[in-house]
Amino acid sequence: MAEDVLDIAVGVLVDAQDRLLIARRRADTPGAGYWEFPGGKREPGETVAACLSRELAEEIGVTDLTSRSLIRFTHDRGPRPVRLHVARIDNWTGAPAGQEGQEVQWRAQNTLDEVELLPATNVILAALNLPPLYIVTPPIGRGRNARQSWFEALDRALRTHAGESAKAFLRLRQPQLDDDDYAELAKRVIEHARRQRARVLLDRSVSLVERLGAAGLHCSTRRAARMDKRPIGQGYWFGVSTHDADELAHAADIGADFATLSPVAATETHPETAPMGWPGFEEARGEAALPVYALGGMRPDDLATARDHYAQGVAGIRGFWPGS
């Protein structure tokens, strides 16, 4: 971005009813009339945490914040380029109210389409709603016993990770199956996943996602490279596999809701591929305007480290699948 980027700290207040606090920009400010999550510009020498505390006290009168970093990204969809440092806030002191004459409202997420939100708010909402763990399935074997064992492992994986991540994500990755066998398997997997409030993403056709009522579509790097726009409606999740900063940028350009970035660590499935490590992950992830999962040699207990490097969460096969 040619212009200097403005650093903005943003707070997403979530109340006990899972409503979000939004504020309307005043007539004398850039983006006047748009609704946004409260926050403001970071001053020279100020930390992001200090900026967030100061801005929310000044704007909506809340203090003593309990927050967690949600996402950091850069975009130029507004009057000037900005770098947003977004935090989720679940506890605070004070009753939020417009301290500078701005209107504020508590809104259920399913009513946000009734107001005009600032550009790139969709990125924040994706980060807010995506789970921290993303399970990818190993190949299913042939024969009744192998399939029974695979489904038993599937159920255990979903039960194990439901406590950490309600409505967990599961990618049904089975490249060895033809389309008919994949569709038959997908129908059964979706039934199992719904019992654990998990959401299944398929990696075949959009029509199959729609027909089976899956949660969304996940595309390989190669498939996404042939796209110039989002292939599925906004009512579904759309994820893309990536391996570097350029592929991440393309995923964002075509409207992906999230991406996986790999390999972070060495994997048994691709021993010939050099892992990028956490510094490489953070560098490649950069400030792309979409949530990014760390993939490759990951386990659920890598989540805290992943978040420290600006990941949405962790994704994997062996580290998430019993008996792998």
**CA 143 to CA 200: how far, in whole Å?**
24
pLDDT (0 to 100) of residue 265: 92
pLDDT (0 to 100) of residue 28: 78
- The conformational region for residue 245 under phi > 0 = left, psi -120 to 50 = alpha, else beta, is alpha
40-88 pLDDT, tens digit each = 999 999 999 999 999 999 999 999 999 999 999 999 887 789 999 999 9
Q: How many CB atoms lie within 10 A of CB 206?
A: 15
**CA 213 to CA 50: how far, in whole Å?**
44
Q: Looking at the structure, give the CATH architecture of the domain made up of residues 130-316.
A: Alpha-Beta Barrel (3.20)
User: Most distant CA pair in the chain: distance in Å?
Assistant: 68
pLDDT class for 29, splitting at 50, 70, 90?
A: confident
Residue 115, C-beta contacts closer than 8 angstroms, at least 6 positions apart: 22, 35, 105, 107
Range(s) for CATH 3.90.79.10 in the chain?
6-119
125-141 pLDDT, tens digit each = 999 999 999 999 999 98
pLDDT reading at 163 higher than 60: no
261-300 pLDDT, tens digit each = 999 997 776 667 789 999 999 999 999 999 999 999 999 9
Report whether 174 contacts 142 (CB < 8 A): no
Task: Output the CA torsion 232→235→241→245 (10° steps).
Answer: 100
Outline where DSSP puts E strands in 108-205.
133-136, 169-172, 199-202
Per the listing, tokens 């595309």 go with: 219
Report whether 177 contacts 208 (CB < 8 A): no
Average of per-residue pLDDT across 152-172: 82
pLDDT reading at 162 higher than 90: no
pLDDT (0 to 100) of residue 2: 46
CATH of 6-119, one of 3.30.420.40, 3.90.79.10, 3.40.50.150, 3.40.50.920: 3.90.79.10
- Exposure string over 98-127, b if 16+ CB within 10 A, otherwise e: beeebebeeeeeeebeeeebbebbebbbbb
Q: Which of 10, 50, 301 is nearest to 161 (CA)?
A: 301
Per the listing, tokens 């998990």 go with: 198
Report whether 296 contacts 263 (CB < 8 A): yes
**CA 309 to CA 74: how far, in whole Å?**
16
